[in-house]
Amino acid sequence: MFTTRPEIAGTFGAVASTHWIASQVGMAVLERGGNAFDAAAAAGFTLQVVEPHLNGPGGDCPIILHSAKLGTQQVICGQGPAPRAMTVANMRELGLDIVPGTGFLCAPVPGAFDAWALMLRDHGTWRLRDVLDYAIGYAARGAHVVPRICATLETVRPLFETAWPTSAALWLRDGGPQPGRLYTNPELAETYDRVLREAEAAGPDREAQIEAARNAWYGGFVAEAIDRFGRSFAALDTSGRRHTALLTADDMAGWRAPVEAPLSHDYRGHTVLKCGPWSQGPTMLQTLALLEGFDIAAMDPVGAKFVHTVVEAMKLAYADREAWYGDPDFVDVPMATLLSAGYTAARRGLIGREANNDWRPGSPDGRAPRTDYAAALRRAEEMAVAAGTGEPTVSRLGASGGDTCHVDVIDRWGNMVSATPSAGWLQSSPAIPGLGFCLGSRCQMFWLDESLPNGLQPGKRPRTTLSPSMVLRDGRPWMSFGTPGGEQQDQWQPIMLMRMLDHRFDIQQAIDLPSFHSEHWISSFWPRGARPGKVVIEGRYAPEVLAELQARGHAAEMGGEWSEGRLTGARLEPDGQIFAGANPRGMQGYAVGR
């Protein structure tokens, strides 16, 4: 079949990411003798500069890695927790019934820096200065501006100009970035330069320098600047009111990224690895478990039956996400039951020929689910009415959704990285003076009911949508892959994997094929709405597919021709060949290798 670019092949190494510059930075590291962990970290820090509307230094970054030296896989949880002062009682006292989607109240401890630094310390070989040199260079001398950066800025320009002056000073100076031109972030360059100066003051040892850098970030000048600005400035947020920050320097000083074992489940003889239920990652495992009972290979990969069956399985998996997932350090998540054969078989029996647009979380171990789907429907309707009357909600309050990045790396030694950095988008909260970045907004995913699995508690991780993936074949690491997309991350990824394992497409073919997503369940993002039965299929589907989905009862609609999916991936075959591919949609993603 025709693909937009080849699935690249080599034996030395490969990097695939959501931006060609980051991919080439990662490859440059491999060419200079670095390993996959050095390359992924350098690419990750570069993504903060070249895709600032999709991630930033104040954001999050879960990582799944395979260490050839250790022969094991690990998850580094770069998802920071809620501040100690962030309680349901405090939020209620502010008159809130939902966490705002922008501003300071929704900011967790920023986890991305520590995730990258920890991976580099424990598995990398390069000094932090060499890894950060690429990001510093682009921040200081300018990075190419893709059109989407400018489009995002236009949605929040009124907010920056009237309510977030520090963001205006950083992102609207001299008129702001222009498509195709270079734009610098000198404050961020200086922040990283100072981190390096403090790191190198610890002496010549590589690991000691990385530890000193972590301390500078979480217990030094970075944390102090965040604390100082958060106390002194009240940021307008999506509640329509101004609030100072809850996050403090003490919150940052008391946190470091934990290392965990990944969750796993087998599909068609392959072991799929995901982050734990503090992420939405297990929904992909549940979806695949449900679909293993169907003859997916016999279905047309771009036919209505495939779309219908996959969407119906996802409805069940995502309903369970809403009812049961949360930080397992705080709640008892019945993960073993949710992935068990008996529970899966019973849930699979709910999938029929017609769409079922009811809200159907399960009852693992006899537990009764507690969700409020009716409230989600009401919030979605209220937002639709506001949009229909021309209320300038987005520009006035800054509710301009961010997205995410992804990077995959495989090196010649067999090391493998799948990382999904996100949040700390330039539009998420006011820029912190002197640092060149802003805080994230992941705490918007909490419910203001501490008794719920994803209910707010101080020090608890919000259930993130960030969801890197890794697959083992015959117990050996085979593929690293992932995508931006929020709720869509664990929709587009199983679709890609099934097209590879069931339909025998390669990475690039599976990425290029038209895809789809549903919005049936409760969104993780403010204002936490839901759209029963909604399915969006890419515009390259045949009209008959849309008609059949509608006839089956789906609230289906056709999207743009190249609108579904942001996937990248890389795989390692037994003969030593490394293959990789990347999404052409948006004209930013690229895979490189040799």
Dig out the tokens for 36 from the structure: 């996959």
Q: Which domain holds residue 536?
A: 1-62+78-256+378-412+420-462+485-593
Exposure b/e, 280-301, CB count within 10 A at least 16 = b: bbbbbbbbbbbbbebebeebeb
d(C-alpha 355, C-alpha 162), whole Å: 46
Nearest-10 Cα torsion for 322, 326, 330, 334 = 80
Q: What is the CATH number of the domain that holds 151?
A: 3.60.20.40
Conformation bin of residue 423: beta by default, left when phi > 0, alpha when psi is -120 to 50: left
Q: How crowded is residue 397: how many other Cβ atoms within 10 Å of its Cβ?
A: 23
Distance between CA atoms of 506 and 492, rounded to whole angstroms?
15
Quick check: 447 and 184 in contact, CB under 8 A? no
Residue 266 lies in a domain: no
Residue 14 in domain: yes
Residues comprising the chain, all counted = 594
Instruction: Tell whether 232 is covered by a domain.
Output: yes
Write out the two tokens for 76.
């580094």
Distance, in Å, from the CA atom of 422 to the CA atom of 284, rounded to the nearest integer, reads 19
Indicate whether 25 belongs to any domain: yes
- Residue 283 has φ and ψ, to the nearest 5°, of -60, -35
- CB contact at 8 A, 63 and 119: yes
Helix axes 304-324, 543-551, angle to 10 degrees: 50
Q: Do 525 and 423 form a contact (C-beta atoms < 8 A)?
A: no
Which residues make beta-bridge pairs with 470?
Answer: 273, 480
CA atoms within 13 A on the CB side of 573: 10
Tally of domains in the chain: 1
Q: Which amino acid is at 73?
A: Q
Are 585 and 14 a contacting pair, CB within 8 Å?
no
pTM, full prediction: 0.96
Residues 10 and 594: beta-carbon distance below 8 Å:
yes
- The span from the CA of 166 to the CA of 298, in Å, is 56
Q: Is residue 323 part of a domain?
A: no
With beta carbons less than 8 A apart as the criterion, state whether 518 and 315 touch.
yes
Strand ranges of the sheet holding 476-482, from the earlier edge strand across to the other edge: 8-10, 578-582, 568-572, 476-482, 469-473, 270-274, 263-267
**For the residues of 373-425, what is the DSSP string, one character each?**
HHHHHHHHHHHHHHHHTT--HHHHHT-----B--EEEEETT--EEEE--BB--
Count CA within 13 A, CB hemisphere, residue 426.
32
Structure tokens at 47: 């993504």
Confidence at residue 395, expressed as pLDDT on a 0 to 100 scale: 38
* Nearest-angstrom CA–CA distance, 46 and 19: 9
Residue 189: CB atoms within 10 A of its CB come to 20
Query: What's the CA gap between 430 and 235, in Å, rounded?
Result: 7
Distance in angstroms (rounded) separating the CA atoms of residues 257 and 237? 28
Q: Does a structural domain hold residue 57?
A: yes
For 174, residues 6+ apart whose C-beta sits below 8 A from its C-beta are: none
In a domain, 145, yes or no: yes
C-alpha distances (whole Å) from 316 to each of 3, 289, 355, 462 are: 33, 11, 12, 21
Which string of b and e fits 149-162 if b means at least 16 CB within 10 Å? bbebbebbbebbee
pLDDT, block means (10 residues), the chain with 594 residues: 96 98 98 98 98 96 98 98 98 97 98 98 98 98 96 95 98 96 98 98 98 98 98 97 98 98 98 98 98 98 98 98 98 98 98 98 97 94 64 42 87 98 96 98 97 98 98 97 96 98 98 98 95 98 98 98 96 98 95 98
Let me know: does 261 contact 74? Beta carbons within 8 Å.
Answer: yes
Residue 348, domain member (yes or no): no
> Can you name the residues that pair with 516 across neighbouring β-strands?
537
Paired with 55 in beta bridges are 423
Q: Round to whole Å and give the CA distance between 406 and 566.
A: 9
